[in-house]
């Protein structure tokens, strides 16, 4: 062993030890201080010991790989991976899409209510994440109040449904337009700002909307929320007496799953088309260098406003579905934490990357569910998982591909 | 045509309370190469930024083809035929070379002509064609400068403003780029306004030159005469 690698090894073991000590310091106040002021160490050591043992195994494997002792495993693993990649690349794209569609369509057939519930939630966040991606990922405007547009959409449908008995499907475009208008209202005065300032202003806007919903008793019924929102309805052909159409409210979760699936697919297609259009390229140019884009003849203000409005419209669509699914809306669903979650999905999944964001939404919704076994430590495990993900893949789970997509490459 | 294509009349501009331009007047005739030389902080880049309205003029007038452009927003100028290659190149690093060029033609809708212009740019800079699928940020400094010039050419400018194209480049590359600037000027009769610190090279290329000092034009003459001017040689050519 050369001296260099020996110090390297010593260093990583030292860091490993320090990390574990630090974890203990973090853990003990949570577990060791009892309600009546009794200090105990047993429980902390039990939890910490398990984590330390797991970490030790990971560390040993990692060190062995580094020193090449696991070389005999690398060759077969590598060829296996190459073989898999070859097979995957050999299957044409339509086959993948059809397989994915079949999986998504048949999902309710082989799952329980709980899994469907999680799937519906994931799809709602896919819509939100993709909408925010237009603003943050493509145009580079940090928006910390995105959930406000979700709220605008949800309350639009709630009010239209309760007071005017308007159908879900008609409310979709109306809510999308209203959310886009809300996007313009916030965008118009603030888009002259750049970077951090914009983030603060959008944060403020998000809170304004929530507080407005909370206090405008005559319209929104304040913190009590609005009840009695109708589910999406469809007309089914019926042969009961002659041929007629029968109106049916889709209350069952399977039906709602298909509704949000349609919305999510629509969002994916729309965002994809925007991304690879002339406007999408201009958005990316603005993200890269706003002044240069302006000097090249891009009306940056108008395009930023457009990014804001279209991002907001997708949020509005998701909001309509949310109201229809819950059949109840209240301001607490649109808190700052939700904005942060959606933003985390975009960043974690990979800014500007559509498959990345879908995976990000899946990870951020499904992981806390998967960690339910950890009970009390669920959020701790979730935070740890997020940290590890960002360390391993800093550009996101599936970083945006930058090449071979547009312009002459498409020829 | 007899009038100047680009004319600045007594232009002043401020950064906050600091006055950057103290009454600049200059003109460029169609097909001319005009250079602005001067030391750091003389106001060369500010002059170009004011022409493009990124920096708003406090007083005076900027006329392009006889029409005042001061009331227009910066994005309205490239469609009129006035385009800038900004200082420090400012290409879009995560867009591919090809997409960067497309951004130069953003306001144009004539797809056929855009394609031909792109081929023309690739002819002018063959290295860009080789690297057209690479992100702009992975190019070398010289290649990025070529990309920035190519991007501006995609807007079919009548007047091209170049801000320090030699900045941070090896002498050989600078020579190459200056040769291409000359070619652009000769082939398309494009008026060129060239801001440079490398006064020697700039004056050899240009027909006329302006010397800027602390926000004012202190000297204006034929490029040849400026090259022979002993004071200029002493101050800017290091003799």
Q: Is B133 on the interface with A (CB under 8 A)?
A: yes
Taking contacts as CB-CB distances below 8 angstroms, the residues of chain A near B161 are none
Residue at token pair 């979730």: A382
Confidence band, pLDDT 50/70/90 cuts, at residue A5: low
The distance from CA B82 to its chain's CA centroid, rounded to whole angstroms, is: 10
What digits encode the pLDDT tens for the residues A206-226?
999 999 999 998 988 888 989
CATH topology of domain A98-410: ABC transporter involved in vitamin B12 uptake, BtuC (1.10.3470)
SS3 B45: helix
The token pair at B130 is: 């080789």
Which residue of chain A is at minimal alpha-carbon distance from B152?
A296
SS3 A249: strand
Task: Give the mean model confidence (pLDDT) for residues A349-356.
Answer: 88
pLDDT at A405: 45
* pLDDT of A81 above 60: yes
What digits encode the pLDDT tens for the residues A97-153?
888 888 888 888 888 888 899 999 999 999 999 999 999 999 999 999 999 999 999
Confidence band, pLDDT 50/70/90 cuts, at residue A366: confident
Q: Which H or E run contains B143?
A: helix B141-153
* pLDDT of B158 above 90: yes
Taking contacts as CB-CB distances below 8 angstroms, the residues of chain A near B102 are 281, 406-407
pTM beyond 0.90, yes or no: no
Q: Is A251 on the interface with B (CB under 8 A)?
A: no
End-to-end Cα separation, chain A, in angstroms = 54
Q: Using only C-alpha atoms, what is the Rg of chain B? A: 17
Task: Give the mean model confidence (pLDDT) for residues A360-365.
Answer: 89
Q: Where are the domains of chain B?
A: 6-236
- Proportion of chain B in helix, strand, coil states, percent, rounded to 5: 40, 30, 30
Nearest to A406 among B99, B104, B152 (CB): B99
Give the whole-angstrom CA distance, residue B126 versus residue B104: 18
Nearest partner of B28 among B158, B134, B218, judged by Cα: B158
Confidence band, pLDDT 50/70/90 cuts, at residue A364: confident
| Count of C-beta atoms within a 10 Å radius of residue A40 | 12
Number of H helices, E strands in chain B: 10, 10
The token pair at A2 is: 């050369």
Residues contacting residue B197 through CB under 8 Å, at least 6 positions apart: B37, B39, B40, B164, B166, B167
What digits encode the pLDDT tens for the residues B48-68?
999 998 899 999 999 999 999
Higher local confidence (pLDDT), A69 or A308: A308
Higher local confidence (pLDDT), B157 or A194: B157
Give the whole-angstrom CA distance, residue B142 versus residue A254: 59
Apex A343 CA angle, A339 and A348, nearest 5: 145
Q: Which CA distances in Å does B179 have to A46, A82, A403, B205?
A: 75, 49, 31, 9
Cβ pair A318, A153 in contact under 8 A: yes
CATH topology of domain B6-236: Rossmann fold (3.40.50)
Phi, psi (deg, nearest 5) at residue B16 = 60, -120
Q: Is A297 on the interface with B (CB under 8 A)?
A: yes
pLDDT at A238: 72
> How high does pLDDT run on average in chain A?
85
Q: Do B96 and A293 touch (CB under 8 A)?
A: no
Q: Is B134 on the interface with A (CB under 8 A)?
A: yes
Q: Where are the domains of chain A?
A: 3-87, 98-410
């Amino acid at each position: 062993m050369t001296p260099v690698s020996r110090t390297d090894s010593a260093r990583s073991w030292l860091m490993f030890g320090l990390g574990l000590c630090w974890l203990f310091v973090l853990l003990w106040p949570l577990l060791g201080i009892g309600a009546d002021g009794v200090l105990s160490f047993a429980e902390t050591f039990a939890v910490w010991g398990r984590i330390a043992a797991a970490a030790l195994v990971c560390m040993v494997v990692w060190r062995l790989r580094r020193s090449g002792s696991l070389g005999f495993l690398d060759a077969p693993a590598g060829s296996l991976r190459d073989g898999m990649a070859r097979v995957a690349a050999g299957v044409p794209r339509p086959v993948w899409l059809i397989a994915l569609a079949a999986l998504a369509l048949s999902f309710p057939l082989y799952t329980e209510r709980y899994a469907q519930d999680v799937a519906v939630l994931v799809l709602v966040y896919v819509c939100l994440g993709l909408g925010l991606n237009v603003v943050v990922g493509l145009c580079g405007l940090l928006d910390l109040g995105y959930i406000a547009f979700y709220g605008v959409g949800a309350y639009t449908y709630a009010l239209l449904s309760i007071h005017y008995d308007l159908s879900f499907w008609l409310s979709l475009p109306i809510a999308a337009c209203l959310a886009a208008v809300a996007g313009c209202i916030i965008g118009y005065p603030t888009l002259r700002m750049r970077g951090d300032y914009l983030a603060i202003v959008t944060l403020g806007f998000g809170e304004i909307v929530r507080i407005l919903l909370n206090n405008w008793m005559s319209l929104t019924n304040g913190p009590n929320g609005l009840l009695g929102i109708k589910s999406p309805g469809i007309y089914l052909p019926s042969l009961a007496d002659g041929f007629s159409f029968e109106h049916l409210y889709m209350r069952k979760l399977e039906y709602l799953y298909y509704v949000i699936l349609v919305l999510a697919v629509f969002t994916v297609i729309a965002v994809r088309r925007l991304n690879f259009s002339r406007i999408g390229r201009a958005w990316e140019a603005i993200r890269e260098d706003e002044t240069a884009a302006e000097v090249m003849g891009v009306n940056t203000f108008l395009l930023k406003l457009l990014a804001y409005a279209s991002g907001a419209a997708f949020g509005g669509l998701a909001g309509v579905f949310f109201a229809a699914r819950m059949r109840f809306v209240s301001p607490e669903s649109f808190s700052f934490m939700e904005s942060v979650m959606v933003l985390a999905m975009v960043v974690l999944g990979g800014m500007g990357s559509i498959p990345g964001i879908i995976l990000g939404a899946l990870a951020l919704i499904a992981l806390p569910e998967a960690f339910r076994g950890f009970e009390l430590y669920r959020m701790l495990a979730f935070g740890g998982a997020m940290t590890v993900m960002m360390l391993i893949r800093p550009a996101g789970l599936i970083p945006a591909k930058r090449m071979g997509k547009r312009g002459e490459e498409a020829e | 045509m007899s009038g100047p294509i680009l004319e600045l009349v007594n232009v002043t501009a401020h950064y906050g309370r600091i006055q950057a331009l103290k009454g600049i007047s200059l003109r460029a005739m169609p097909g001319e190469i005009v250079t602005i030389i001067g030391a750091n902080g003389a106001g060369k880049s500010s002059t170009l930024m004011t022409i493009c309205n990124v920096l708003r003029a406090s007083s005076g007038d900027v006329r392009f083809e006889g029409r005042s452009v001061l009331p227009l927003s910066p994005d309205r100028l490239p469609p009129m035929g006035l385009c800038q290659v900004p200082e420090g190149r400012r290409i879009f690093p995560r867009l591919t070379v090809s997409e960067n060029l497309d951004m130069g033609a953003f306001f144009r809708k004539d797809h056929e002509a855009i394609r031909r212009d792109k081929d023309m740019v690739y002819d002018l800079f063959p290295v860009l064609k080789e690297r057209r699928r690479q992100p702009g940020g992975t190019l070398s400094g010289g290649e990025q400068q070529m990309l920035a010039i190519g991007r501006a050419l995609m807007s079919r400018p009548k007047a091209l403003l170049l801000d320090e194209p030699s900045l941070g480049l090896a002498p050989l590359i600078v020579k190459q780029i200056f040769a291409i600037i000359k070619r652009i000027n000769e082939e398309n009769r494009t008026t060129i306004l060239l801001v440079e610190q490398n006064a020697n090279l700039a004056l050899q290329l240009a027909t006329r030159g302006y010397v800027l000092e602390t926000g004012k034009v202190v000297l204006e003459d034929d490029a040849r005469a400026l090259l022979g001017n002993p004071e200029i040689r002493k101050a800017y050519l290091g003799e």
